[in-house]
Amino acid sequence: MKLLRYGPAGAEKPGIVDKDGTIRDLSGIVADIAGEALSDETLARLRALDLETLPPVDADSRIGACVGRVGKFICIGLNFADHAAESGMHLPAEPVVFFKATSAIIGPDDTVEIPRGSVKTDWEVELGVVIGKEAKYISEDEALAHVAGYCVINDLSERDFQLHRSGQWVKGKSADTFGPIGPWLVTRDEIPDPQDLPMYLEVNGHRYQDGSTRTMHFSVTAVISHLSQFMSLQPGDVISTGTPPGVGLGQNPQVYLKPGDKMELGIEGLGVQRQNVIQG
Protein backbone atom coordinates (compact mmCIF):
# COMPACT_ATOMS: atom_id res chain seq x y z
CA MET A 1 0.00 0.00 0.00
CA LYS A 2 0.91 3.61 -0.56
CA LEU A 3 -0.29 5.66 2.40
CA LEU A 4 -0.05 9.43 2.61
CA ARG A 5 -1.32 12.53 4.34
CA TYR A 6 -2.94 15.39 2.45
CA GLY A 7 -4.31 18.85 3.16
CA PRO A 8 -3.07 22.10 4.71
CA ALA A 9 0.05 22.02 6.87
CA GLY A 10 -0.90 21.12 10.42
CA ALA A 11 -4.33 19.81 9.38
CA GLU A 12 -3.44 16.86 7.19
CA LYS A 13 -5.85 13.95 6.70
CA PRO A 14 -4.93 10.30 6.05
CA GLY A 15 -5.13 8.91 2.53
CA ILE A 16 -4.29 5.92 0.39
CA VAL A 17 -3.40 5.59 -3.30
CA ASP A 18 -5.61 3.20 -5.29
CA LYS A 19 -4.52 1.03 -8.22
CA ASP A 20 -5.28 3.85 -10.69
CA GLY A 21 -3.21 6.40 -8.78
CA THR A 22 -6.20 8.21 -7.29
CA ILE A 23 -5.86 9.36 -3.69
CA ARG A 24 -8.70 8.09 -1.49
CA ASP A 25 -9.65 9.56 1.87
CA LEU A 26 -9.03 7.34 4.91
CA SER A 27 -10.26 9.73 7.60
CA GLY A 28 -13.37 7.62 8.18
CA ILE A 29 -11.16 4.60 8.89
CA VAL A 30 -8.14 5.97 10.82
CA ALA A 31 -7.47 9.34 12.44
CA ASP A 32 -3.99 9.73 10.95
CA ILE A 33 -1.08 7.83 9.43
CA ALA A 34 0.55 7.71 12.84
CA GLY A 35 0.82 5.69 16.04
CA GLU A 36 -1.51 2.69 16.16
CA ALA A 37 -2.39 3.11 12.47
CA LEU A 38 1.15 1.87 11.69
CA SER A 39 0.65 -1.49 13.44
CA ASP A 40 0.51 -4.72 11.46
CA GLU A 41 -3.09 -5.20 12.57
CA THR A 42 -4.29 -1.81 11.31
CA LEU A 43 -2.29 -2.09 8.10
CA ALA A 44 -3.92 -5.48 7.45
CA ARG A 45 -7.34 -3.86 7.96
CA LEU A 46 -6.48 -1.10 5.48
CA ARG A 47 -5.19 -3.66 3.00
CA ALA A 48 -8.56 -5.42 3.05
CA LEU A 49 -10.55 -2.28 2.17
CA ASP A 50 -12.40 -1.86 -1.11
CA LEU A 51 -10.72 1.41 -2.05
CA GLU A 52 -13.34 2.30 -4.65
CA THR A 53 -15.84 2.82 -1.84
CA LEU A 54 -13.67 5.55 -0.28
CA PRO A 55 -14.11 9.23 -1.25
CA PRO A 56 -11.62 10.46 -3.86
CA VAL A 57 -9.38 13.40 -2.94
CA ASP A 58 -8.89 16.48 -5.10
CA ALA A 59 -5.85 15.83 -7.26
CA ASP A 60 -4.57 19.34 -6.52
CA SER A 61 -4.45 18.78 -2.75
CA ARG A 62 -1.18 19.50 -0.98
CA ILE A 63 0.67 16.34 0.08
CA GLY A 64 2.08 16.46 3.60
CA ALA A 65 4.73 14.36 5.30
CA CYS A 66 3.60 10.74 4.96
CA VAL A 67 3.73 10.02 8.71
CA GLY A 68 2.32 12.15 11.51
CA ARG A 69 3.27 12.73 15.14
CA VAL A 70 6.88 11.69 14.58
CA GLY A 71 8.46 11.05 17.97
CA LYS A 72 12.09 10.67 16.94
CA PHE A 73 13.75 11.71 13.67
CA ILE A 74 16.96 9.67 13.73
CA CYS A 75 19.64 9.97 11.07
CA ILE A 76 22.61 7.79 10.14
CA GLY A 77 25.72 9.56 8.90
CA LEU A 78 28.50 8.38 6.59
CA ASN A 79 26.63 5.21 5.66
CA PHE A 80 27.84 5.01 2.05
CA ALA A 81 31.55 4.46 1.44
CA ASP A 82 31.75 6.87 -1.50
CA HIS A 83 29.93 9.59 0.42
CA ALA A 84 32.30 9.21 3.38
CA ALA A 85 35.23 9.55 0.98
CA GLU A 86 33.85 12.68 -0.70
CA SER A 87 33.28 14.16 2.78
CA GLY A 88 36.90 13.46 3.72
CA MET A 89 35.86 11.14 6.56
CA HIS A 90 36.60 7.51 7.39
CA LEU A 91 33.95 4.80 7.34
CA PRO A 92 32.77 4.34 10.93
CA ALA A 93 33.10 1.09 12.88
CA GLU A 94 29.54 1.59 14.16
CA PRO A 95 26.66 3.62 12.71
CA VAL A 96 27.05 7.38 13.23
CA VAL A 97 23.81 8.48 14.88
CA PHE A 98 22.43 12.00 15.14
CA PHE A 99 19.00 13.55 15.48
CA LYS A 100 17.10 16.00 13.36
CA ALA A 101 14.50 18.25 14.98
CA THR A 102 10.96 17.11 14.18
CA SER A 103 10.12 20.78 13.52
CA ALA A 104 12.19 20.40 10.33
CA ILE A 105 9.58 18.04 8.83
CA ILE A 106 7.61 19.26 5.81
CA GLY A 107 5.78 17.73 2.88
CA PRO A 108 7.63 16.30 -0.13
CA ASP A 109 6.86 19.24 -2.42
CA ASP A 110 6.85 22.05 0.12
CA THR A 111 9.23 25.00 -0.26
CA VAL A 112 12.69 24.65 1.28
CA GLU A 113 14.10 27.69 3.09
CA ILE A 114 17.80 28.51 3.26
CA PRO A 115 18.32 29.52 6.91
CA ARG A 116 19.60 32.97 7.87
CA GLY A 117 23.38 33.09 7.93
CA SER A 118 23.71 29.98 5.76
CA VAL A 119 26.58 29.75 3.32
CA LYS A 120 26.55 25.98 2.62
CA THR A 121 23.02 24.56 2.39
CA ASP A 122 23.27 21.06 0.88
CA TRP A 123 21.04 18.19 -0.24
CA GLU A 124 20.94 14.45 0.56
CA VAL A 125 18.51 11.90 -0.87
CA GLU A 126 17.95 9.13 1.70
CA LEU A 127 15.85 6.05 2.32
CA GLY A 128 13.51 6.61 5.24
CA VAL A 129 12.36 3.77 7.49
CA VAL A 130 9.17 4.22 9.53
CA ILE A 131 8.80 2.09 12.65
CA GLY A 132 5.45 0.35 13.13
CA LYS A 133 6.03 -1.73 16.27
CA GLU A 134 8.15 -1.02 19.35
CA ALA A 135 11.71 -2.28 18.94
CA LYS A 136 13.96 -2.75 21.97
CA TYR A 137 17.08 -4.92 22.12
CA ILE A 138 16.18 -6.71 18.89
CA SER A 139 18.41 -8.73 16.56
CA GLU A 140 18.95 -8.03 12.87
CA ASP A 141 16.78 -11.04 12.04
CA GLU A 142 13.89 -9.44 13.91
CA ALA A 143 14.35 -5.93 12.56
CA LEU A 144 12.09 -5.82 9.51
CA ALA A 145 9.11 -7.13 11.49
CA HIS A 146 9.19 -3.79 13.33
CA VAL A 147 9.01 -1.71 10.14
CA ALA A 148 5.72 -0.23 8.92
CA GLY A 149 7.17 0.97 5.64
CA TYR A 150 9.61 3.12 3.71
CA CYS A 151 9.70 6.62 2.23
CA VAL A 152 11.88 9.22 0.52
CA ILE A 153 13.69 11.79 2.70
CA ASN A 154 15.73 14.83 1.73
CA ASP A 155 18.17 15.22 4.64
CA LEU A 156 19.00 18.86 4.01
CA SER A 157 22.12 20.09 5.75
CA GLU A 158 23.88 23.38 6.40
CA ARG A 159 27.50 22.23 6.24
CA ASP A 160 29.07 25.26 7.91
CA PHE A 161 26.67 24.96 10.86
CA GLN A 162 27.16 21.18 10.91
CA LEU A 163 30.96 21.03 10.78
CA HIS A 164 32.30 24.35 12.03
CA ARG A 165 29.90 25.68 14.65
CA SER A 166 30.93 23.29 17.47
CA GLY A 167 28.93 20.56 19.14
CA GLN A 168 26.82 17.93 17.42
CA TRP A 169 25.72 17.81 13.78
CA VAL A 170 22.16 18.65 14.82
CA LYS A 171 22.86 22.39 14.39
CA GLY A 172 23.32 21.91 10.66
CA LYS A 173 20.47 19.46 10.23
CA SER A 174 17.47 20.95 11.99
CA ALA A 175 16.49 24.22 10.31
CA ASP A 176 12.81 24.60 9.49
CA THR A 177 12.00 22.81 6.17
CA PHE A 178 15.16 20.66 6.34
CA GLY A 179 13.16 17.41 6.53
CA PRO A 180 10.90 16.76 3.51
CA ILE A 181 9.32 13.30 3.94
CA GLY A 182 7.17 11.40 1.42
CA PRO A 183 5.16 11.49 -0.78
CA TRP A 184 4.14 8.00 0.31
CA LEU A 185 4.68 5.60 3.14
CA VAL A 186 5.04 2.39 1.14
CA THR A 187 4.31 -0.59 3.37
CA ARG A 188 7.08 -3.14 3.82
CA ASP A 189 5.25 -5.89 1.93
CA GLU A 190 5.74 -3.89 -1.28
CA ILE A 191 9.50 -3.52 -0.75
CA PRO A 192 10.87 -7.08 -0.50
CA ASP A 193 14.50 -5.90 -0.39
CA PRO A 194 15.26 -2.43 0.99
CA GLN A 195 18.91 -3.00 -0.02
CA ASP A 196 18.15 -2.89 -3.74
CA LEU A 197 16.56 0.51 -4.37
CA PRO A 198 17.97 2.96 -6.95
CA MET A 199 17.93 6.58 -5.76
CA TYR A 200 18.71 9.95 -7.33
CA LEU A 201 18.71 13.70 -6.76
CA GLU A 202 18.82 16.55 -9.26
CA VAL A 203 19.25 20.30 -8.84
CA ASN A 204 18.02 22.47 -11.71
CA GLY A 205 17.88 19.38 -13.93
CA HIS A 206 21.48 18.31 -13.24
CA ARG A 207 21.79 14.88 -11.67
CA TYR A 208 24.20 15.07 -8.74
CA GLN A 209 23.27 11.88 -6.91
CA ASP A 210 22.70 8.58 -8.71
CA GLY A 211 23.11 5.67 -6.31
CA SER A 212 21.50 2.65 -4.72
CA THR A 213 20.84 1.31 -1.26
CA ARG A 214 22.96 -1.68 -2.33
CA THR A 215 26.07 0.27 -1.36
CA MET A 216 25.04 1.03 2.22
CA HIS A 217 27.81 0.36 4.73
CA PHE A 218 25.29 -0.67 7.41
CA SER A 219 22.09 -2.30 6.15
CA VAL A 220 18.59 -1.30 7.22
CA THR A 221 18.40 -4.34 9.51
CA ALA A 222 21.79 -3.55 11.05
CA VAL A 223 20.79 0.08 11.68
CA ILE A 224 17.48 -0.82 13.33
CA SER A 225 19.06 -3.48 15.53
CA HIS A 226 21.91 -1.15 16.50
CA LEU A 227 19.61 1.71 17.45
CA SER A 228 17.42 -0.60 19.52
CA GLN A 229 20.34 -1.37 21.80
CA PHE A 230 20.49 2.29 22.88
CA MET A 231 16.85 3.41 22.80
CA SER A 232 13.45 1.93 22.22
CA LEU A 233 12.06 2.66 18.78
CA GLN A 234 8.39 3.59 18.81
CA PRO A 235 5.63 3.54 16.18
CA GLY A 236 6.04 6.62 14.02
CA ASP A 237 9.76 7.05 14.65
CA VAL A 238 11.57 7.83 11.40
CA ILE A 239 15.09 6.68 10.56
CA SER A 240 16.97 8.34 7.70
CA THR A 241 19.57 5.81 6.63
CA GLY A 242 22.28 7.82 4.88
CA THR A 243 23.02 9.24 1.45
CA PRO A 244 25.02 8.09 -1.59
CA PRO A 245 27.77 10.27 -3.09
CA GLY A 246 27.03 13.43 -5.04
CA VAL A 247 26.24 15.98 -2.34
CA GLY A 248 27.23 19.61 -2.87
CA LEU A 249 30.03 19.33 -0.31
CA GLY A 250 31.70 16.69 -2.47
CA GLN A 251 31.74 18.65 -5.73
CA ASN A 252 34.91 20.27 -7.07
CA PRO A 253 34.35 23.15 -6.74
CA GLN A 254 31.69 22.74 -4.06
CA VAL A 255 28.10 23.62 -5.02
CA TYR A 256 25.41 24.72 -2.57
CA LEU A 257 21.74 25.60 -2.83
CA LYS A 258 20.69 29.18 -3.57
CA PRO A 259 17.31 30.92 -3.82
CA GLY A 260 15.51 29.96 -7.02
CA ASP A 261 16.99 26.46 -7.24
CA LYS A 262 14.71 23.51 -7.87
CA MET A 263 15.35 20.02 -6.50
CA GLU A 264 13.92 16.71 -7.67
CA LEU A 265 14.71 13.46 -5.89
CA GLY A 266 13.30 9.97 -5.75
CA ILE A 267 13.74 6.32 -4.82
CA GLU A 268 12.42 3.50 -6.98
CA GLY A 269 8.97 2.45 -5.81
CA LEU A 270 8.75 5.19 -3.18
CA GLY A 271 7.87 8.22 -5.29
CA VAL A 272 9.40 11.58 -6.15
CA GLN A 273 9.84 14.88 -4.29
CA ARG A 274 10.11 18.32 -5.92
CA GLN A 275 11.11 21.40 -3.93
CA ASN A 276 11.67 25.05 -4.76
CA VAL A 277 14.34 26.86 -2.71
CA ILE A 278 13.88 30.31 -1.20
CA GLN A 279 15.77 32.46 1.29
CA GLY A 280 14.41 32.03 4.81
pLDDT in tens, the chain (280 residues): 999 999 999 999 999 999 999 999 999 999 999 999 999 999 999 999 999 999 999 999 999 999 999 999 999 998 987 777 777 777 899 999 999 999 999 999 999 999 999 999 999 999 999 999 999 999 999 999 999 999 999 999 999 999 888 878 899 999 999 999 999 999 999 999 999 999 999 999 999 999 999 999 999 999 999 999 999 999 999 999 999 999 999 999 999 999 999 999 999 999 999 999 999 9
Q: What residues form DSSP beta bridges with 4?
A: 15
The total of other beta-carbon atoms located within 10 Å of residue 104's CB is 18
Domain architecture of the chain: domains with CATH: 2-53 (no CATH), 73-279 (3.90.850.10)
Whole-angstrom CA distances from 48 to 52, 189, 200, 209, 265 are 12, 14, 33, 38, 31
CB 24 within 8 A of CB 54: yes
- Global pTM reads 0.96
Q: What residues form DSSP beta bridges with 202?
A: 207, 264
Residue 66 phi/psi, 5° resolution? -80, -5
